[in-house]
């Protein structure tokens, strides 16, 4: 389940990343570690994401997070590049991986399931569609926690 602060952190981080010419790919807050770890993946859409990109957003985001006071206790900030990510987030990725095996995780459960596996058909404004054993299933985007490539297939 996604940590409740992730939405606030994402809302703060997206414009910071955009101002630096970067895309925010993923935000995860690992509270099971001491201190908790805030991991943020960014991508440079114009070139390979480098250490310089990670350093620039780390400085800018750290300052913004401190001013906003969203995280009230000590934490570790990790910035990285997703590389070839298993997670699909952008329109371009959903087009590029059409026909590939994917896993969709929902929160809350959709039609009694939290995990759906099948071949990616498409994504639109309302849902992500997959072929599940010859049957098309549309999962509402509002129920989707994440979509990832199924590396086991």
Given a cut of 60, whether residue 1 has pLDDT beyond it is no
Do 134 and 72 share a structural domain? no
- 69 and 127 co-located in one domain: no
Give me the domain span that covers residue 63: 6-80
Backbone angles phi, psi at 20, to 5 degrees: -95, 5
Gyration radius of the chain's alpha carbons: 17
Q: 1 lies in a domain?
A: no
Listed in sequence order, the DSSP H helices in the chain are 6-19, 51-68, 91-96
Q: Is this model's pTM higher than 0.85 or not?
A: no
Average pLDDT, the chain: 89
Which one of 80, 109, 135 terminates a domain? 80
Whose tokens are 């969709």? That residue is 104
End residue of a domain, out of 26, 51, 80: 80
> What's the whole-number mean pLDDT along residues 24-34?
86
Per-residue pLDDT, averaged over 135-148, amounts to 93
């Amino acid at each position: 389940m996604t940590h409740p602060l992730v939405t606030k952190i994402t809302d703060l981080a997206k414009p910071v990343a955009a101002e630096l010419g970067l895309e925010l790919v993923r935000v995860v807050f690992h509270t099971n570690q001491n201190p908790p770890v805030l991991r943020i993946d960014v991508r440079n859409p114009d070139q390979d994401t480098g250490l310089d990109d990670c350093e620039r957003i780390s400085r800018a985001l750290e300052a913004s997070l401190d001013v906003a006071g969203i995280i009230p206790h000590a934490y570790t900030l990790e910035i990285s590049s997703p590389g070839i990510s298993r997670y699909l987030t952008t329109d371009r990725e959903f087009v590029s991986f059409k026909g590939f095996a994917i896993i969709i995780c929902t929160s809350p459960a959709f039609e009694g399931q939290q995990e759906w596996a099948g071949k990616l058909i498409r994504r639109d404004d309302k849902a992500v569609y997959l072929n599940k054993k010859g049957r098309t299933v549309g999962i509402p985007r509002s129920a989707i926690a994440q979509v990832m490539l199924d590396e086991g297939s």
